[in-house]
Structure 1
Amino acid sequence: MKLPLFIYSLLAALLLWLAWPTMPLTPLIFIGFTPLLYISEKVQHRWKYFGLIFMALLVWNVATTWWVGNTTLPLSGVFANCFNALLMSIPWLAYKNTRRKLPEVVAYFSLIVYWLTFEYIHQTWEFSWPWLVLGHAFALRPGWIQWYEYTGTSGGTLWVLLSNIVIYNVWKRARLYDFSWKQLLRNEIWKPAAVVFLPMILSSFIYPSPDDPARKTEVVIVQPNIDPYDEKFSSGSAIQQLEKFIHLTEQKADNNTRYIIWPETALFPQGAWENELNYQPEVIAIRTMLRKYPKAKLISGAATLKHYRSTDEIPVTARQLNDGSRWDAYNSAVQIDTSQNIQVYHKYELVPGAELVPYVRYLSFMQSVALDFGGISGSYGRTPGVELFTNPADSTNIFPVICYESVFSDYIGTHIKPGADLLVIITNDGWWGNTEGHRQHLQYARIRAIETRRWVARCANTGISAVIDPAGNIFQPQPYWKEAVIKANVTPRSGITFYVRNGDLLSKGALIFCILLLVHAFISRFIPGLRHAEINQ
């Protein structure tokens, strides 16, 4: 029985949703795109083709990340899912166009190239949303992807697309030649089996190097469970929240504690000027606490403000005070000890809409559009603070990753390369409620651990706080929406993986081939014989 084509579109969305973390059916990702390959082959009408592809990708986006609209403005989630599905359709439209002009094998290659290029761009522009990078599909299966230390998530994307193409072509050949089961098993099944299982087998032989026992470091991670909507940013609650943090910290901290970690925006929810941090009541109270633990430093999220002098270069995100001077607000991380030196890192990968109005430099009137998700409206600043938190006492360098930044493979790798020994992720996943959002976010951190071969100390305001080893194994995950304190040992590591050293080579190579394919498509419009000659070869 011949099924309506829209059934194939919905089938693709269903398979992709069931394969995505934290759903347990990961192997379905290897066939999730096969219905779309069938549609690409059967549908010739451009708008009908676009409609079927867009429907599949939209349903997948909504089913997987519907929770992005679980905010005070649900329309933001509707826009995010629709816009992302539209962007995902572009590689498929380009693939369809290539199918019309070039041989089938080249067209399949172009699909891989176009999708990898799309993912690469989607991690580098200001509308970035790499949540559904295909390589993230294996977050629940770290044993399958130990080779990510060489390729990053782009290797997983290549694996997904190649597997779908090979499996679809075996299915197509089986139908075309009416293979018996014996013929199929003898002549064809080895192809998808090799593509799917060889990377898994390879992964079983790849291990992170052993930890250096001499560098073992004790951390205390505090999960305070403060409601981000009704409690976190309410006026006059900052000191009460600080008292809670200190009380929870003192439950587990001791003389061996090296780092105390508090979550995103734990300090100064209404903002504090960076040049006055040493005089803030919170900092004075923290230093009083730290004197009990002479080896410890505190790493915490904070909302900080920076006042620009007339001689400073003023960024487009800066706001104006009544006296005409300019200032910026930052979603920051701070490292505090008993000295007068406070290191401040500024979050760079900001959430479009919530923390950043994309391309506000060209649309300055849109500055006030950003949603108030951090106690301060308008776009956050993006000028850099410190690159790493340093600790000369034990030669440890920490890269403090703030929330959304932990989804970016290349960004994390770039900041490990200068010498980060340990990843600390601070986040506030309570914005999305008890949905798949916070669970997916935790799982993606496992991939960052594998790519960089670093221990990860993850501190979430409402959960899930945990510790992750360089092989992607999770330890001491804490329940969502519960107060919790973790004491754990992590090991700073200095080795650099191939991926960190060389960056995302697969995506950069795909970008080059994408440009060549687009140049060919442009030239062939003016030299029709070029297209026909290539098809006939």
Structure 2
Amino acid sequence: MKTPYFLLSLISGLLFWLAWPTMPFTPLIFIAFTPLLYIADKVSHPGKYFGLVFLAFLTWNAASTWWVGNTTVPASGVFANVFNALLMSIPWMAYKQTKRRLPVNASYFALAVYWLTFEYIHQTWEFSWPWLVLGHAFAMHPGWIQWYEFTGTSGGSLWVLLGNIVIYNAWKRARIYDATTRELLRYEAWKPVLAIGLPLIISAFIRPAPDDPAKKAGVVIVQPNIDPYDEKFSAGTSMEQLQTMLRLTEQKADSNTRYIIWPETALFPMGAWEHELNYQPEVIAIRDLLKKFPRAKLISGAATLKRYSATDEVPATSREMNDGTRFDAYNSALQIDTSLSIQVYHKYELVPGVELVPYVRYLSFLQKVALDFGGITGSYGRTPGVEMFTDPAAGANVFPVICYESVFSNYVAEHIKPGANLLVIITNDGWWGNTEGHRQHLRYASIRAIETRKWIARSANTGISAVIDPAGNIHDPQPYWEQAVFSSTVTLRAGNTFYVKNGDLLSKGALIFCILLIIQSLISRFIPGLRYAKGN
């Protein structure tokens, strides 16, 4: 008796969920696409095929990232899951069309090209949501993916696609030729074993270069555990929150501390003008603290504001004050020391719908529809701040990654390339409660460490704060939703990996082939000889 196609679609989505961090069944990722490959072979009606593909991806999205709706606006999660499932369906619709005009192996190649192109675009446009990039599936097993220092997550995505295709073909050949178990093991089983096993073997022989003991630096990481809904953005509480972080810092800081790290939006939750930062009482109190630890610099998240003059070029994200003056609001990171110099970095990869109204420069009226999660609402500014935090005396160059930015493989690599030797992630992961969201977010940081071979110091307002070594191993993870502070040692590591130096070559290559496939498709409409007869 044949399994109904809709059931196969559901099975595909559930396999992805079971394989996704932080579920414990990661190897299932190598068969999660096989029901869809079968559906693509058997279902000819375009509408029915689309419905089945969409159902699979909706199941995966809803089961793995349902928590995006665990906010004051649950409808946002419904929209995000449905919209992302629709986008994921596009490569598979293109694959179905390609199957009709190209040989089998060429159509499989096209599927990989379409999917990698989709993932690449999904990291670069303003509706970005790279949370479910296939290469993130191995976040709980850094020992499997040490070769990400050469390929980034796109290498993992290709590995998943190849594994599924090879396993499906082995199964299909066994059915077509009615192969015995012995014949299957002899003639087909070696292919998926090789496709899946070879990267694991390669990974076992790759390790980051050893740390230079002379480049070690002490860090103190603070996890203040301030409720983002009921406390953080409440009027009149910012100085109380500051006192909590100062108190926690003093418990662990000492003469060897090089960096003190506070989480996202720890300072000025309602905003502070950037040209007046030196006069803010919070900054004055921090400098009084740093006088006790003269070698230390403090890195903290902050909400900052920038006013534009009449002669400035004003971006579309700007807002208007009562007097007509335009200004931008930023989700920022600050580096503060005892001097009057404050380095300010502006978050660039913003959360669509919360921090960024996509393409608001073309549809300015949408500025008012941004979701209100507390603090400053509407589109944040995206004009650059400093490229990285520098400390020439210590030879330290820190790239501060703010929350959502740590999910972007390409973005982090591009900003490490100019010479950063330490990654600091500051985040506020309490928005979605005690769900898989904050656990997945932590695990993805392990992949960024492998891709860049840099130490990561991670401060999360409500957890999970931790330190991550260049092999992707997590050290000193702090309990979620508990106040905590700890000291640790990281190493300032010079040099860049192949991936950081050269970028995402796999995705760029896929984009080129995708364009060629589209051109070939258009030409084939007018030159019948380019078509291939297909059985499906």
- What is the TM-score of this pair, normalised by structure 2? 0.99
Counting only pairs closer than 5 Å after superposition, residues 349-498 of structure 1 correspond to structure 2 as: 349-498=349-498
Counterpart CA distance in 2 for 1:132 and 1:438 is 14
Counting only pairs closer than 5 Å after superposition, residues 206-355 of structure 1 correspond to structure 2 as: 206-355=206-355
CA deviation map 1:210-248 (0-9, x unaligned): 100001100000000000000000000000000000000
Q: Unaligned regions of 5+ residues in structure 1, if any?
A: none
What is the SS of the residue equivalent to 1:430? coil
Alignment match, 1:24: 24
Does residue 76 (structure 1) correspond to residue 76 (structure 2)? The answer is yes
Aligned partner letter, 1:261: I
Counterpart CA distance in 1 for 2:192 and 2:377 is 51
Seen in structure 2, the aligned counterparts of structure 1 residues 89 and 362 have a Cα distance that, compared at 3 Å, is same
Counterpart CA distance in 2 for 1:69 and 1:357 is 17
Aligned partner letter, 1:101: R
Counterpart CA distance in 2 for 1:67 and 1:92 is 26
> How much does 1:373 deviate?
2.8
Counterpart CA distance in 2 for 1:154 and 1:377 is 33
Counterpart CA distance in 1 for 2:420 and 2:237 is 34
Counterpart CA distance in 1 for 2:178 and 2:526 is 42
What is the SS of the residue equivalent to 2:454? coil
CA deviation map 1:501-522 (0-9, x unaligned): 0000000000000000000111
Aligned partner letter, 1:113: V
Counting only pairs closer than 5 Å after superposition, residues 46-125 of structure 1 correspond to structure 2 as: 46-125=46-125
Counterpart CA distance in 2 for 1:359 and 1:506 is 28
Counterpart CA distance in 2 for 1:372 and 1:5 is 41
Aligned partner letter, 1:506: L
Q: Is the 8 A contact 1:269 1:374 kept in 2?
A: no
Q: Is the 8 A contact 2:400 2:424 kept in 1?
A: yes
Q: Is the 8 A contact 2:113 2:514 kept in 1?
A: yes
Once the two structures are aligned, what percentage of the paired residues are identical? 75
Q: Is the 8 A contact 1:266 1:302 kept in 2?
A: yes
What is the SS of the residue equivalent to 1:101? coil
Counterpart CA distance in 2 for 1:275 and 1:372 is 26
> How much does 1:531 deviate?
1.0
> How much does 1:525 deviate?
1.1
CA deviation map 1:325-353 (0-9, x unaligned): 11000000000000000000000000000
What is the SS of the residue equivalent to 2:430? helix
How many pairs does the alignment contain?
535
Does 311-320 or 18-27 show the bigger shift? 311-320
CA deviation map 1:237-283 (0-9, x unaligned): 00000000000001100111000000000000110000000000000
Counterpart CA distance in 1 for 2:465 and 2:3 is 46
Alignment match, 1:515: 515
Runs of 4+ deviating beyond 3 Å: none
Does 257-266 or 180-189 show the bigger shift? 180-189
Counterpart CA distance in 2 for 1:374 and 1:283 is 23
Counterpart CA distance in 2 for 1:69 and 1:470 is 33
Counting only pairs closer than 5 Å after superposition, residues 125-136 of structure 1 correspond to structure 2 as: 125-136=125-136
What is the SS of the residue equivalent to 1:28? helix
Q: Is the 8 A contact 2:452 2:500 kept in 1?
A: yes
Aligned partner letter, 1:331: N
Counterpart CA distance in 1 for 2:329 and 2:298 is 22
Counterpart CA distance in 1 for 2:174 and 2:211 is 50
Q: Is the 8 A contact 1:225 1:462 kept in 2?
A: yes
> How much does 1:322 deviate?
1.6
Counterpart CA distance in 1 for 2:320 and 2:16 is 46
Aligned partner letter, 1:520: Q
Aligned partner letter, 1:467: V
> How much does 1:374 deviate?
4.8
Aligned partner letter, 1:418: P
What is the SS of the residue equivalent to 1:9? helix
CA deviation map 1:351-409 (0-9, x unaligned): 00000000001100000111123501210000000010000111100000000000000
Q: Unaligned regions of 5+ residues in structure 2, if any?
A: none
Alignment match, 1:4: 4
Q: Is the 8 A contact 1:355 1:373 kept in 2?
A: no
Counterpart CA distance in 1 for 2:53 and 2:143 is 32
Aligned partner letter, 1:170: A
Counterpart CA distance in 2 for 1:403 and 1:500 is 20
What is the SS of the residue equivalent to 2:531? helix
Aligned partner letter, 1:240: E
What is the SS of the residue equivalent to 2:208? coil
Aligned partner letter, 2:373: F
What is the SS of the residue equivalent to 1:110? helix
> How much does 1:529 deviate?
2.5
What is the SS of the residue equivalent to 1:260? strand
Alignment match, 1:155: 155
What is the SS of the residue equivalent to 1:222? strand
Seen in structure 2, the aligned counterparts of structure 1 residues 410 and 374 have a Cα distance that, compared at 3 Å, is farther
Aligned partner letter, 2:405: E
Counterpart CA distance in 2 for 1:525 and 1:58 is 32
Alignment match, 1:204: 204
> How much does 1:321 deviate?
1.3
What is the SS of the residue equivalent to 1:54? helix
Counterpart CA distance in 2 for 1:403 and 1:242 is 20
Counterpart CA distance in 2 for 1:32 and 1:247 is 49
What is the SS of the residue equivalent to 2:349? coil
Counterpart CA distance in 2 for 1:378 and 1:131 is 22
- What is the TM-score of this pair, normalised by structure 1? 0.99
CA deviation map 1:102-139 (0-9, x unaligned): 11111100000000000000000000000000000000
Aligned partner letter, 1:245: M
Counterpart CA distance in 2 for 1:322 and 1:14 is 52
Seen in structure 2, the aligned counterparts of structure 1 residues 262 and 398 have a Cα distance that, compared at 3 Å, is same
> How much does 1:535 deviate?
6.8
Aligned partner letter, 1:494: A
Counterpart CA distance in 1 for 2:377 and 2:6 is 42
Q: Is the 8 A contact 1:439 1:464 kept in 2?
A: yes
CA deviation map 1:396-448 (0-9, x unaligned): 00000000000000000000000000000000000010000000000000000
